[in-house]
Amino acid sequence: MRDIVDLTGQAQDFVTRAGVNEGTLSCFSRHTTSAIMLVNRREGIAELVPEILHEILEETVEKRGASTSRDPETVNAYVSSTLLGASVNIPIESGKLKIGDWQGLYLVEMLGPREREIVLTAVGI
C-alpha cells in the first residue's frame, strides 16, 4: 500500500515563516521506504508515478528478492524509494517556491501510510 502526501502548502508556509526571500528550499525524507518528488499536480499523476514504478519492478524484485530476508513488497519499496530519491531542492524567489503552476511537492510512502519525519531547510537571504 502506498500513501501520497502533498507537501506543497506546508513547504511554502515553512519558507514564509523562515523569512527567506531569495534562496533554496531542501526537502528531505529520513526514511528508506519513502521518497520526495516534484510532479504534476493534475490528473492523478502523483499517484500514478509510484504505481507504475511498482509494476515495473514487481517481477524483477520477486525474481531477485529471494536472496534477501525481506518480503518482495518491502524490497520493492526500498528500490522504488531509491529510484525516486530522498530529496528535492527548489529555488525560492520573492519569498515563494519557484515551481511551475502545475507542480507539487509530494512525500511518497511506499509501505504506508506511516508517520514520517521530513526535514525542510531554507537557505538564503
CATH number of residue 28's parent domain: 2.60.120.460
Exposure string for 17-33, b = 16+ CB within 10 A, e = fewer: ebebeebebebebebeb
Contact 7, 118 (CB under 8 A): yes
For residues 108 and 110, give the distance between their C-alpha atoms in angstroms, rounded to a whole number.
6
Number of domains in the chain: 1
Query: 3-class DSSP state for residue 97?
Result: strand
Quote the CA–CA distance of 6 and 9 in Å, as a whole number.
Answer: 8
**Cα three-residue angle 42-19-26, rounded to 5 degrees:** 50
Around Cβ 38, how many Cβ atoms within 10 Å? Answer: 19
For residue 105, what are the domain limits? 3-124
Task: Convert the pLDDT of each residue in 13-42 to its tens digit.
Answer: 999 999 999 999 999 999 999 999 999 998
Residue 65's pLDDT is 58
Give residue 66's pLDDT: 56
Give the per-residue pLDDT at 67: 63
pLDDT tens for the chain, residues 1 to 125: 689 999 999 999 999 999 999 999 999 999 999 999 999 998 899 999 999 998 888 888 777 755 666 788 888 899 999 999 999 999 999 999 999 999 999 999 998 788 899 999 999 99
State residue 84's pLDDT score.
95
CB atoms within 10 A of CB 34: 25
